[in-house]
Structure 1
Amino acid sequence: MSCKAPPKQHLDASGLRCPLPLLKVKQCLAGMQQGERLEVLATDAGAMRDIPAFIDLTSHTLLQCDQRDQQYYFLIEKG
């Protein structure tokens, strides 16, 4: 049984419009250590496309990607 580490950082990008949620994610990840987790909340629908596409091009891992009402939730592990 493995223990899942809680997110190290939380980013509330609610109210920010494209491309700002993605830029904020990049900034946060740049300041984190490998294996740490970033929890992201966004309200811009473009984030559902942009953030997973960015993660696919990196060594980071998208652990969770959900829409909750009018918010988009992401859990990213820094690679």
Structure 2
Amino acid sequence: MQTNQVLDARGLNCPLPILRTKKALNALQSGETVKVVSTDPGSVKDMTSFCEQTGNRLLSSQQAGSDYEFVIRKT
């Protein structure tokens, strides 16, 4: 899946992956996407909750080795 931006949040713990994701989304136009890569296992629940609360769309969530990858579309 092609994205407009990739955010490397590996090595960061809660709440930093969410805060960086929020900042990245603020810089995007509506309909654009960001891929977030994190190593924090808590980010799976956090990204889901974040998208539900902000209205942005979580297009995919998967684990790739020790990384958690999320693709979010800005609404």
TM-score greater than 0.5 by the shorter chain: yes
* Structure 2 residue 43 is matched with structure 1 residue 47: yes
Instruction: Report Cα offsets for 1:18-56 as digits up to 9, x if no partner.
Output: 110010000000111000010010001111111110101
CA distance in 2, matches of 1:12, 1:70: 13
Q: 2:69 aligns with which of 63, 67, 73?
A: 73
Q: What is the TM-score of this pair, normalised by structure 2?
A: 0.94
Q: In percent, how many aligned pairs have the same letter?
A: 40
Q: Alpha carbon RMSD of aligned pairs, Å? A: 1.0
Residue 74 (structure 1) shift: 0.1
Residue 57 (structure 1) shift: 1.2
Query: Please, which runs of 5 or more residues in structure 2 have no aligned partner?
Result: none
